[in-house]
Amino acid sequence: MSNLIPRPGTSPVLVASADGQSLAPQLVSLPEAQSEEINLGELWAAIRRRRRLVAVTAAVCLLITAAYTARQRLFNPVYEGSFNLLITDPISAQTEGGRSGSGSGSGTQGNVIEQLARNTSNVDIPTLIEVLRSPLLLDPIARRFDTSAADLAGRIAIVTGGDRRQSAEGVLKVALTGTNPVQAKQQLQALSQSYLNYSQQQRQQRLAEGIKFLNRQAPLLQAKSNEIQGELARFRRTNNLLEPNLEGGALREQVAAQQVQRRGLQAERARLQSVRRGIEDGSLTAVGFQEAVSTGPGGAESGSGGGSGGGVSITSRSQSMLQQLADLEKQLAETRARYTPSSSMVRGLQARRDRLADQVRSSQIEAVDAALALNASRLATNQGEINQLNSAFRLQPALIKQYDDLQQRLKIANDNLAAFLQTRETFQLEIAQRTVPWKVIAESQVNPEPVKPSVPRNLLLGGLLGLVAGAGAGLLRDRLDHVFHKPQDVREELNEPLLGHIPHISYLSDVRRDERFLLEELDRTAAEPRDSETGDSTSASKKSRASYVASPAAGRSGDERQLRYQRFFYQEAFRNLYTSLRFLNAERPLRSVALTSSLPAEGKSLVNVLLAKTLSELGQRVLLVDGDMRKPQLHKRLGMDNLRGLSNLLAGDVSRWQEVVQPVAGYPNWSVITAGLRPPDPTRLLSSQRMQQLISTLAASGDFDLILYDTPPVLGLADAALLAEHLDGLILIVSLERVDRSLPREAISRIRSARAQLLGVVTNAVREDPSANHAYGYRYGYRYGYRYGYGSYDYRTAYSYYAEDDGASDGPSRSGLASTSRSSTSTTAQPERPWRRGLAGLQRQLRRGLNWLDR
């Protein structure tokens, strides 16, 4: 059977070989039972299925946590105390900040130098905390209280921030834990005093080191200041300057004055050139020339001769000639008024005027040329002065820069020197004061209530840990026990209609194993309670009851009342199943239905027999066909012979189907077609045209209201899929507590791929819950007769049932054979030892506990 082991993702299907004489396994691909990715929905469903285990695990964890917390609270309580330490002075810091903006401006420099001298420019809080928890400070206290510095440091917690503001980094909160509150308070007081002493020592040490630093730096700063002052004096002597900035401004003003004078000379030159042009073209008369000269820059002083402002001077000779010319012009005008223009007098005066005008013009041009030459000389002189002043001014920026650099260096040196001297005086005053820089702002207090263990915190952690542990236990339990426990699980997992649920019936639990005659036992069980209630004490009744008590199944059932309840429940279950079948198809009633399962030994043959029996009792005409020609069981359950049946009809040994129909004794509405003799190739017979015609003929005959077919399992064998292809529908039986969750899903996929109609599923309980009420509690226990892996199954174990040959199985089987075999075995068994009985009882209790947790 090793060739039946499938590859992952495949399922072996037994099909007929080419010769038709043997079965050859073929691997058929199946859909993935589970995704490789984590499915949160499946995880949540698993936790919900195991919610009782999750709740119990969480409750146990919570109880353990509560018990541990209570024990620690009573016997090992931990108390906590603390005090607050102020390590900075915000008021003095503000005063220093206010002082930095006053005085000569050296306050900021003084603060920097003071921080350098104190070596506290950057307070490293984490380093300070490590120092406070170091053995350097804790060793004396540890020796005082007879403990170790490591133990004391482990119980000390130092954090920044006070009780109200966590951002107050200038405040340290020192907390200490201990089992003795009195000793803890004493240790806190010793710590606070030690920290204050440490701060004072560190302050004095820093001040002393700061004064040494200042004393070393002060002579160097003084020498630096003297050196810079000498450089400034040499600069002034070399450049003959006192203040380069002021002297540069004076040079700039002189240049501006020379430029103003130059613009005046240029304007005078332009006026003189205009006068000369007027003289040359004759447009300037004697009187006009005199006015032009008089209105020059020199004003009246120019006209008086000898002035230098106008540039043109009028001598006495020129003035007399101008006067004569003016007189001649006047006489000529008067003469022209009295005489004609051709008269000798007019011509004579006109000739004299022309000669005198030529002389005056020549004299005027000479005067203007002289003035222009003088103006050009003055412009040249002015330009030379401007160039000289500009050259001197261009040297001033470099001198000013050098001078400013010397002044800045001198100022810095003097400020540093003043700051050092001021800081040294401050340090000397602080050393004289001997104040403590740190201050305890919250005295040492120990909380009278223990802080450890914290009841709310531990209970919360215990609850969270319990939930996590419970979820883990539930998932682990669900992984190790991957079976269905409730009909609701089947409905939610498969998402298929749940047609009914078959409860556990204790007196039928060994029917399959013992191969007893089912109907005889059912009828006897049903008759016994009625006889007991009516008081019938006949010998036949006693004999029937004695025979029943000898049955192992009846011995385990308890009392007659329980049997009556069981009969009621299983009858109602099959009646509900019939009701569901009636309403499945509203258009036309179902005529031919097959009941199958995913694996062997799920109780499908037993369910077929009980369903047919219940329907016949309701007046329905039922035909039960045993389609499992590999391992037929119906004839054994009903006490019939199996000499002729379905295989004979399909093989042609029997021509009419009525010849193989056997009525069930005592049930007029119930008929059976057994499987018949075992054929060499059942698959070929089921897939034949004759089988299809037989199904159609039986459904159309009108002799039966419902035809039930008992088929082999769906997985691993092709018989059920071949038979269901021609039926009205297929019902899948799912055994609780036995079949792996993934197998019904694969079976449904197999049915869909065969294009058969799946009507729904029926759940079957294989074990009674031992902890349930005997009257109404037909729940589900644990029975691991078939252990399959997570998401897969072992075909060698499951289908070995079809590989074994049980010999001749064609004749009727009675329960007495099995009873005899067991009785003989029991008589030869050795007496059980007490420790074995105790171990068995313990196992039963554990099984009950697991059953209760998983329900």
Half-sphere exposure of 261 (CA within 13 A, CB side): 17
- pLDDT-derived band at 834, boundaries 50, 70, 90: confident
> What value does the mean pLDDT take over residues 251-266?
84
Task: Determine the pLDDT at residue 37.
Answer: 63
- pLDDT-derived band at 616, boundaries 50, 70, 90: very high
Task: Determine the pLDDT at residue 832.
Answer: 59
Task: Determine the pLDDT at residue 186.
Answer: 93
Lowest-confidence region among 158-167, 442-451, 659-668 = 158-167
pLDDT for 338 beyond 70:
yes
Indicate the CATH number of 487-854 among 3.40.50.300, 3.60.20.10, 3.30.750.24, 3.30.10.20. 3.40.50.300
Cα dist from 285 to 87, 288, 292, 326, whole Å: 104, 5, 10, 9
DSSP string, 595-625: EEESSSSSSHHHHHHHHHHHHHHTT--EEEE
Helices (H), 83-180: 90-99, 107-118, 125-132, 135-144, 149-154
Q: Could you tell me the two tokens for 753?
A: 């791929």
- pLDDT-derived band at 413, boundaries 50, 70, 90: confident
> What value does the mean pLDDT take over residues 521-529?
58
Instruction: Name which of 411, 470, 358, 385 is nearest 46 in CA terms.
Output: 470
Reduce the secondary structure of 50-88 to three states and give it as a string.
CHHHHHHHHHHHHHHHHHHHHHHHHHCCEEEEEEEEECC
pLDDT for 23 beyond 70:
no
Half-sphere exposure of 360 (CA within 13 A, CB side): 25
Instruction: Name which of 267, 234, 281 is nearest 402 in CA terms.
Output: 234
Lowest-confidence region among 52-66, 218-232, 740-754, 758-772 = 758-772
Cα dist from 236 to 224, 242, 498, 741, whole Å: 19, 6, 115, 107
Task: Determine the pLDDT at residue 537.
Answer: 35
Query: pLDDT tens digits for 156-214?
Result: 999 987 666 667 778 899 999 998 999 999 999 999 999 999 988 887 887 788 778 87
- pLDDT-derived band at 623, boundaries 50, 70, 90: very high
pLDDT for 521 beyond 60:
yes
Based on DSSP, count helices (H) and strands (E) in the chain, helices before strands: 32, 14
Task: Determine the pLDDT at residue 289.
Answer: 60
Task: Compute how many other C-beta atoms are within 10 angstroms of the C-beta atom of residue 303.
Answer: 19
Task: Determine the pLDDT at residue 766.
Answer: 72
Better-predicted residue by pLDDT, 477 or 153: 153
* Residue % of the chain over a pLDDT of 90: 17
Task: Determine the pLDDT at residue 220.
Answer: 83
pLDDT for 347 beyond 80:
yes
Which residue, chain included where needed, has tokens 């009909």?
487
Q: At what angle do helices 244-280 and 344-394 cross, to 10 degrees?
A: 160
Query: pLDDT tens digits for 598-615?
Result: 888 888 888 899 899 999
pLDDT for 143 beyond 80:
yes
pLDDT for 794 beyond 50:
no
**Where in the chain are the domains?**
277-396, 487-854
Task: Determine the pLDDT at residue 451.
Answer: 87
> What value does the mean pLDDT take over residues 650-678?
90
pLDDT for 42 beyond 80:
no
Half-sphere exposure of 588 (CA within 13 A, CB side): 6
Task: Determine the pLDDT at residue 523.
Answer: 63
Task: Determine the pLDDT at residue 516.
Answer: 57
Lowest-confidence region among 213-227, 302-316, 376-390, 551-565 = 302-316
pLDDT for 568 beyond 70:
yes
Question: Could you give the CA distance from residue 101 to residue 825 in angstroms, rounded to a whole number?
Answer: 113
> What value does the mean pLDDT take over residues 378-400?
79
Burial of 826 (0-12, 13-18, 19+ CB in 10 A): exposed
Half-sphere exposure of 186 (CA within 13 A, CB side): 10
- Find residue 671's DSSP bridge partners: 623, 663
